[in-house]
Amino acid sequence: MHPPTTTFQQRAHQALQDRNLQLALDRAMHHFVDGRLNAFARLPHGEALRDHARVIRANAIARLDEHLETFERNARANGSMVHWARDDEEARALVLKIARENGVQRIIKSKSMLSEEIELNPALEKEGLDVLETDLGEFIVQLAHDHPSHIIAPVVHWPLERVQKLFHEHLGTPLDASITDLTAAARRALRNGFLQADMGISGANFAVAETGSVVLVTNEGNGRFVTTAPRIHVALVGIERMAPTLRELGTLLQLLARSATGQPLSVYTSIVTGPRRSPQEDGPEQVHIIFIDNGRTQALAGELAESLYCIRCGACLNVCPVYRRLGGHAYGSVYPGPIGIVVTPALDGLFPWHELPQASTLCGACTEACPVRIDIPRMLLKLRADTVDAGLAPTWLRHGLKLYTKAAQHPRLFRLGRKLAAWTQRLAPRTPQGWVQSMPGPLAGWTDSRAFPPLASESFSERWEKRRRHER
């Protein structure tokens, strides 16, 4: 992953001023959140299912080595070829090698965040290969030379009007084309790609150790085309995507679609178990499964291992007050939102991404929404502590925290500091409701876009003491 050259604050400011983005996010987020709540309201024992899913993921990650070996054995027995990539470079090299050895020119892809993580498309295009994204959102992103901004909805940051304009310019649809007309135009544009491709590249929502299968969950059917129409199918799989058995896969699938889109099950669930076998007429001649580490083993060994339980449903993004205002691009990482600000430094190291763990209010809405109950705030606090320990926090924050620690340990000093702050704030401009309108120095970031509640003229303990004296 390449860290951006601008700061998180700069990107956040830009996102807040983008009216199109704000409009698109407002429309989409309510839809996702309401859909999830309704879907869970109709699911008997939904909470128990979440507990069970957490145990499944925790056990899968705790015994990852065994499951990976079982998977490899079973996948080879099915006729699939299993490859291992330590990092993004090795993963890209493996895909290119398979393409070269098989005389591949045209590649179709279904949505894969992992392929974004390893920056696969630029590497393939640099070698002169034609790459076509077939998920509608990814197709739009590719046409516009943009980047996905949500784990499951790549163009959630695009209002309809922008898609209409893009399709008008590239596919000749009218400027006021309906959604049905737009999807029909995309279907026409993609059809030849499906029929002519030599290789299909997919991700995998899960890999089932028991059967050596990769599982793809989509709503558009493009995943099935990508995995069956070309003569070669390459599946990119993060090593943590393991579901030990089909039974456990069933539990995870019940939660994935409900948490992601509010559907009981996604429209297409494909379980790919090897290439076609005689006398089957359909399906690829070769299936290659590339397991990619790229920082996951390192994450597994530390206190952020829980982030690997993630089943990439996107629910935590949809409820996060920060994501809902900024969208995905402000994070600068392939993985945005609450899970992104943990997973990105977990995979790629804290130094280039040390700003990200600050992009949270620690409200806990993410954990409440997460189908496998990942404790994101706990890991964020750990990352923030690591940031301070590594000397990466801003100087004012480090000195400020030291000062606060001292004051909190000495009540007199604390009282004096509080009085001083209460007195100083009288000089600050106020809103008609009496809130502080602007604060100085590093605190100005808070009041740039909202007011700050004033400090009480008397502290709680002063009022308590006064009341006690009065009652005596």
Binding residues for ligand SF4 (CB under 6 A): 151, 259, 310-316, 339, 369-372, 374
Asked if 216 and 110 touch (Cβ cutoff 8 Å), the reply is: yes
Please, which residue, 74 or 254, has the CB nearer to ligand SF4? Answer: 254
Radius of gyration of the chain (CA): 25
- Neighbouring-strand partners of residue 430: 436
**CB pairs under 8 A, 24+ apart, for 122-129?**
123/92, 123/95, 123/96, 124/95, 124/96, 124/99, 127/96, 127/99, 129/99, 129/104, 129/105
Shortest CB 372 distance to ligand SF4, Å: 5
Report the C-alpha gap between 319 and 411 in whole angstroms: 38
Shortest CB 256 distance to ligand SF4, Å: 8
Burial 137-162 (b: 16+ CB within 10 A, else e): bbbbbbbbeeebbbbbbbbbbbbeeb
Please, which residue, 80 or 360, has the CB nearer to ligand SF4? Answer: 360
Shortest CB 36 distance to ligand SF4, Å: 10
Please, which residue, 299 or 370, has the CB nearer to ligand SF4? Answer: 370
Q: What does the block give as tokens for 144?
A: 């516009």
Shortest CB 367 distance to ligand SF4, Å: 8
DSSP conformational letter for 455: P
Pick left, alpha or beta for residue 441 (phi over 0 → left; psi -120 to 50 → alpha; otherwise beta): left
Asked if 109 and 201 touch (Cβ cutoff 8 Å), the reply is: yes
Please, which residue, 197 or 365, has the CB nearer to ligand SF4? Answer: 365
DSSP conformational letter for 175: T
Report the C-alpha gap between 242 and 329 in whole angstroms: 28
Shortest CB 342 distance to ligand SF4, Å: 8
Please, which residue, 232 or 305, has the CB nearer to ligand SF4? Answer: 305
Shortest CB 295 distance to ligand SF4, Å: 17
Phi and psi at residue 265, to the nearest 5°: -155, 145
Shortest CB 236 distance to ligand SF4, Å: 18
Please, which residue, 98 or 370, has the CB nearer to ligand SF4? Answer: 370
Please, which residue, 56 or 372, has the CB nearer to ligand SF4? Answer: 372
DSSP conformational letter for 436: B
Q: What does the block give as tokens for 262?
A: 């509010």
